[in-house]
Amino acid sequence: MEFSYEVRDSYAEVKADGRLNMVSAPKLREFVTDVIAGGSNRIVVNLEKTAFMDSSGLGALIGCLKAARQAGGDLRIAAVQPQVKMVLQLTSMDKVLTAYPSADEAFSND
C-alpha cells in the first residue's frame, strides 16, 4: 500500500492506495500521525484506490480519527469503494466514520 498527502485550504488529504490490511494498517496510522504532528488536524482519507480493507485497517482508521480529534480536529473518509463500504456497514462503523463522495466535500459544510 502507498500513502501520500497534500495540504489543501482547510484540510490535509491523505491518499491510501492498495490493500488496507494487517500489514499496511500500522503504516497508515504512523503516516496520519505524522501529518497531524505536521500541523494538520483536519484530515480526509481518500479511499478511492483502497480496494480492500479488513478489521485491522478499520482499527487504524479509528485510531487516526481519535488522534485527529485529540489534536482538536476531525478525520473523514471519502470515495469509499464497495468492499470498504461493506466492512463499514457490517461493523456499524459507517455511523462513526462518515463517508463523503469526494475529498472536496468532506469539510465543505464546516
Partner 1 sequence: MTDVLASRSFRGPAAEDAVESVHNDLDSLWLDVPFVQDMDQMTFTTAVIESVSNIIQHAEPAGDEPVELGVDITVQPTLLQARVSAYHAQPPFGPMEPAVPGEDSESGRGLALIEALVTTVTFERQESTNTWVLSRTSSQG
By the criterion CB under 8 A, which residues form the site for partner 1? 19, 21-23, 52, 54-56, 58-60, 62-63, 66, 82-83, 86-87, 90-93, 95-96
DSSP string, 53-75: E-HHHHHHHHHHHHHHHHTT-EE
Task: Find residue 17's DSSP bridge partners.
Answer: 2
Least separation in angstroms between residue 56's CB and partner 1 is 6
Which is nearest to 79 in space by CA: 100, 95, 61, 98? Answer: 100
Least separation in angstroms between residue 99's CB and partner 1 is 15
Least separation in angstroms between residue 5's CB and partner 1 is 21
Q: Where are the alpha helices (DSSP H) in the chain?
A: 25-37, 55-70, 82-90, 103-106
Distance of alpha carbon 41 from alpha carbon 37, whole angstroms: 8
Least separation in angstroms between residue 37's CB and partner 1 is 19
In the complex with partner 1, which residue's Cβ is closer, 49 or 66?
A: 66
In the complex with partner 1, which residue's Cβ is closer, 87 or 106?
A: 87
